[in-house]
Structure 1
Amino acid sequence: MAEAAVFSTEGHTSLLVSALQSFRKSKDLCDVVVVVDGHRFHAHRIVLASISGYFSAMFLGDFAERRQTEIMLHNVDAASVATLIDYAYTGKAQCAVDDVERLYASAHFLQFDDVVTKCSKWLRTRTDSSNCLHLGLFADQYNDSLLMSVCDRTAAVNIVDVAGTDKFLALSADHLRRILALDELGVKDEEEVLHVVSKWVKHDYESREKHTKVLLSLVRLPLIDLEKCEALLMELQVREWVTERVTEDAKSEATASPRTGCQDVLLVFGGDVFGKGWRVGKEGIGEDDYYCIVSNEAMYYDPSQDVWSSFPSLVEPRSRAGLVTVGDVLYAVGGETVHPDCAYSETEDREDHIYPMKTVERYDSKQNRWIADVEPMSHPRRGNEVTSCLGRIFGISPNPKKQHYWVKADDPETKNWLVEAYSPEENRWIPFSSPSECTYRLEDATVAALSDQVYVFYDDGDTFGHIRYDPIEDRWQSFSPAPFSFHRTSETEHNFTVTINDNIYFFSSGAFCASFSSKSEQWSKFSLEPFEWSPWAVGAVGGAGDRDKFYIIFRYGVRVINVDSLSKRALMKSGENYLPGRLMHYGAKFISRNFVLNLM
């Protein structure tokens, strides 16, 4: 074969596309006019046919339009066609947010497959509880299985809120059945699923009565209280049928087991590590120098899968910060970070390396990032000093004159409290009254919210201190004295609380545990086996059927405690779910699975 000379021009494709677009705008060499609702678009057949399956079949097949110079289009809108023709020449499509569905519909009709794929992906990232039913119907219309799956899953996770909308009442039986069949239903128990079915059926009982048993078969009937729901079942005229069905369903693991997909996930974030400088290997840091590193990384643990996954990093590095939710917004509050002048020094006191924080940031699930646009607190706080109650974030701490350093436990100013609450609507912290006097030790105090009350627990040196605050009445009050005492046995011991059902559980890493029932106003005390590593945070699964466990975060993993086993001193390990990395003192909280849907 003879030797060939090869010549090429860099960017030839771009030059060709640019020339074709120029010809189109000047209407040179155009051989077809696309007409939509009186709007005329000049173009080249070869360009349209190369991008669109619709035009390819029209111009290459044995159709009358093959020989026509004007093509009339129906079932599409002019603005979308203009965008699609631009896309054919440039590879770019731009439209208003509100016009994406119209563009999708026109692209689907004209078989601009790449545009359909991109529109579908964009809609999937914008799906939430307010539009999931509408977009689900849209996806069903165009047989978009990926979009349909995201919409159904979002509706399932938010089923209680979604069931309160008019669009829910207008759902078809098949669409509702598809949602109820998912394991991700965001309900606290199966009785909520029963009420969802009842609401839909009773909206048009005459025509929907025939679907009742089919839909109820998707409720995990062995898990409901038949006596409690008897009136509802009688109203639906299915009491006897349900009784018989319960017996059969109890034999099946699928219908007799709690839903696992609706479990919340455990988010951990920030953290620090403190040690000697030679371990870092930083030039100029000697063997006797100490360092402190604070991280902004975050990750979440899925108990149903026993796996850790990455989560968007915080804006600022934080350790011992608070993580609270107000409605569907997630906040990282306060904590501590490395002092700019003391990251590396000869001092071995960790407190000399860190700097308390007043700043707050929130997580935007749609943008998939943390945003630092929240008004800072008036005073720094650690995570165990904040909680959410009645749609606000409450922060409770000593009110010292020094605003940039932690108050020492023996400082007389610890008797003066600073109480404030963050209002998301106003984006500001509002001061509230403080108790007249209380010996409050910052290192030992922790707050929790239950039954619209804010509880504070602390070690006053002699007794187990506790007091509660009523935000509605703006009033502090004592409550049932604990029949036991508690105080820390070491400076490295940490205290934390978690609420489950009607109880607040107070934990100490020194193996002390107590619970208080808001219903009975009674205390209980338990003893636990000493933790192998001092935990910093604790959370309780909020998913249906799994409200009886505590998940305690350690440096290297997660431990699970069954509420029913507290008196038996039982401490179990949940799989090989070790925390990645080497950081300690993570902030942690169980959050709704909604926050991580776009990450899965």
Structure 2
Amino acid sequence: MKLVDSDDFRLLSVDHVARLLSHDELGVRVENDVVGILHQWIKHDETSRRHHVENLATKVIRLPLIDYSNETSSLNILSNLDYEDSSSSSSSCQRRVGCEGVLLVAGGGRICNEDTDKYEFVSRAQTYDAYDDTWTSFPSLEVRRCEPRIVTSFGVAYALGGRTIDFDGEDDFKSTCLAVVERYDPERRRWIDDVASMSTPRSRDEIVCCANRIYGMSLAHDEMMCEAFDPTTGTWTPVASPGGGERRLENGYILSSLAGKIFAIGREMSSGKFGHMTYDPSENRWLDFRPENHVKSIIDSSSIFYGSIGDRLYIFSNGRLQVFFDDRSERSSVDDDWSHSFWLKRTYGLAADSDCKRLFLLGRSLTDGELVLLVVSQDDDGRVKEWKESDWLSSNFRNAVECAVVDRSLVLNVGV
């Protein structure tokens, strides 16, 4: 973006501009920046370059990624485009490297209030930008809580459920599960609770987003409460549950969205077998419980973190990153070729960036105990390609965090 203001850029030929602005690794933050760059190049010699607008715009600008709510004068160059004709000729809808999502971390930790000499819970939020390896402050949740489920739907970030913690002393505390839902409003730059609450309080492992709908599913209780939130209507509606109480899963089960379906992975109460139940949103029904031997090593852990990319579910437990495939995959089990060890002293969260095929692991380093972030990149087959370690600068989170990948434009609107 700094080079755009130089004479070297303004004097580029039309062919050079076309090659440059259509590149997947163009160093921009949002696709609207490409419109602004093209606008500057045209304005430098508008008389001779005006007739290139339509051809260049349809070739280099990824029109479905444009945010038209962010009105700028440069968007005027798109006003006369024939979108039906341009949709087939424009570049792919894949985000550029510079437009990758960023990691949002929300939660809190215990501090001692110097005035009252009592322990209390504080709430914090931060974002991490892997593009330039920087942390930025972000508005904290209005409702103080730990381990909320953070999800995004239609580009909107939601914080659901979690627990409040009240401290009676250094080690004595009571925890209350919540049903509240907040969404982040980029115009007001704060979280607001104008979203309907869930019908029942839920922990983060009972909430998952699938195909832009948010599901709350409590499967460890006698009455299995399952519901779905439609962001377009702002309402929660009941959905099918797996069946009777004999189908309950023991505490410790996890929910994940995988290839357009929802997987509940755990131990069946009646049989004691490990496996998964699958919910198909398109048919509003649960498929049979399917035992898998390798699931036991995943579930028998005090801390389980997971994220999905395409048809793969990545599960991190006991210092080991493993891959669980859906039924349509050629492989359906985990072996040494599809796992990798990261020796963290303690893990606090995992998030998946589907567009960039990478994972974020938050935790404490095994060597020095410092807070660290591991950014894990994969190849096309889902294997670990490379990983790098970044300092996690905040000490306000402890172990009470939740993280998710959110749209970069949402973070840029914070203005901090």
TM-score over 0.5 for the alignment?
yes
The answer to whether the Cα contact below 8 Å between 1:183 and 1:262 also exists between their aligned partners in 2 is no
Superposed CA RMSD in Å reads: 4.0
Counterpart among 245, 248, 261 of residue 453 in structure 1:
261
Counterpart among 342, 361, 381 of residue 552 in structure 1:
361
Deviation at 1:581, TM superposition (A): 2.4
Aligned to 1:434: 241
Deviation at 1:590, TM superposition (A): 0.6
Distance 1:554 1:183 in 2: 36
Distance 1:568 1:313, change over 3 A: closer
Aligned to 1:293: 121
The answer to whether the Cα contact below 8 Å between 2:213 and 2:230 also exists between their aligned partners in 1 is yes
Counterpart among 211, 216, 225 of residue 418 in structure 1:
225
Aligned to 2:348: 536
Deviation at 1:361, TM superposition (A): 0.5
Aligned to 1:336: 163
The answer to whether the Cα contact below 8 Å between 2:109 and 2:397 also exists between their aligned partners in 1 is yes
The answer to whether the Cα contact below 8 Å between 1:264 and 1:593 also exists between their aligned partners in 2 is yes
Deviation at 1:423, TM superposition (A): 2.6
Deviation at 1:301, TM superposition (A): 0.7
Deviation at 1:396, TM superposition (A): 0.9
Distance 1:273 1:458, change over 3 A: farther
Distance 1:535 1:185, change over 3 A: farther
Distance 1:269 1:260, change over 3 A: same
Deviation at 1:496, TM superposition (A): 2.4
Deviation at 1:373, TM superposition (A): 0.9
Counterpart among 94, 104, 127 of residue 267 in structure 1:
104
Aligned to 1:95: none
Distance 2:395 2:63 in 1: 30
Distance 1:435 1:150, change over 3 A: closer
Counterpart among 556, 561, 568 of residue 376 in structure 2:
561
Aligned to 1:498: 307
Distance 1:425 1:294 in 2: 32
Distance 2:148 2:404 in 1: 11
Deviation at 1:447, TM superposition (A): 1.2
Aligned to 1:598: 413
| Structure 1 residues 9-20: aligned runs within 5 Å | none
Aligned to 1:381: 202
Distance 1:151 1:452, change over 3 A: closer
| Structure 1 residues 309-388: aligned runs within 5 Å | 309-339=136-166, 343-345=167-169, 348=171, 352-388=173-209
Distance 1:301 1:530, change over 3 A: closer
Distance 1:459 1:309, change over 3 A: farther
Deviation at 1:282, TM superposition (A): 5.7
The answer to whether the Cα contact below 8 Å between 1:185 and 1:259 also exists between their aligned partners in 2 is no
Structure with the larger helix share = 1
The answer to whether the Cα contact below 8 Å between 1:529 and 1:571 also exists between their aligned partners in 2 is no
Distance 1:313 1:582, change over 3 A: closer
Aligned to 1:408: none
Distance 1:472 1:580, change over 3 A: same
Aligned residue for 1:375, secondary structure, equals coil
Deviation at 1:554, TM superposition (A): 1.9
Distance 1:393 1:200 in 2: 35
Counterpart among 374, 379, 392 of residue 578 in structure 1:
392
The answer to whether the Cα contact below 8 Å between 1:459 and 1:488 also exists between their aligned partners in 2 is no
| Structure 1 residues 102-117: aligned runs within 5 Å | none
- The share of aligned pairs that are identical, in percent, is 28
| Structure 1 residues 122-137: aligned runs within 5 Å | none
Of the two, which has the highest radius of gyration?
Answer: 1
Distance 1:375 1:538 in 2: 27
Deviations 1:144-170 (A, max 9, x none): xxxxx99933869xxxxxxxxxxxxxx
| Structure 1 residues 35-184: aligned runs within 5 Å | 152-153=32-33, 173-174=52-53, 177=56
Aligned to 1:393: 214
Deviations 1:393-442 (A, max 9, x none): 101114xxxxxxxxxxxxxx635421111233443321222112324233
Deviations 1:509-544 (A, max 9, x none): 44252321353264232443253232232122244x
Distance 2:107 2:294 in 1: 35
Deviations 1:288-332 (A, max 9, x none): xxx45241x211111111111122221111211111122132110
Amino acid at match of 2:105: V
Distance 2:234 2:104 in 1: 24
Distance 1:355 1:597 in 2: 33
1:203 aligns with 2:85: yes
Deviations 1:239-273 (A, max 9, x none): xxxxxxxxxxxxxxxxxxx9321211111112324
Aligned residue for 1:271, secondary structure, equals strand
Deviation at 1:174, TM superposition (A): 2.9
Bigger relative contact order (CA 8 A; separation at least 6): 2
Aligned to 2:320: 511
The alignment's TM-score, normalised by the length of structure 2, stands at 0.70
The answer to whether the Cα contact below 8 Å between 1:509 and 1:530 also exists between their aligned partners in 2 is no
The answer to whether the Cα contact below 8 Å between 2:294 and 2:333 also exists between their aligned partners in 1 is no
The answer to whether the Cα contact below 8 Å between 2:146 and 2:162 also exists between their aligned partners in 1 is yes
Amino acid at match of 1:582: N
Distance 1:504 1:282 in 2: 46
Deviation at 1:384, TM superposition (A): 2.4
Distance 1:475 1:176, change over 3 A: same
The alignment's TM-score, normalised by the length of structure 1, stands at 0.50
Distance 1:184 1:595, change over 3 A: farther
Deviations 1:156-208 (A, max 9, x none): 9xxxxxxxxxxxxxx97437747976899959xxxxxxxxxxx969838xxxx
Distance 1:284 1:389, change over 3 A: closer
The answer to whether the Cα contact below 8 Å between 1:503 and 1:518 also exists between their aligned partners in 2 is no
Aligned residue for 2:322, secondary structure, equals strand
The answer to whether the Cα contact below 8 Å between 1:453 and 1:470 also exists between their aligned partners in 2 is yes
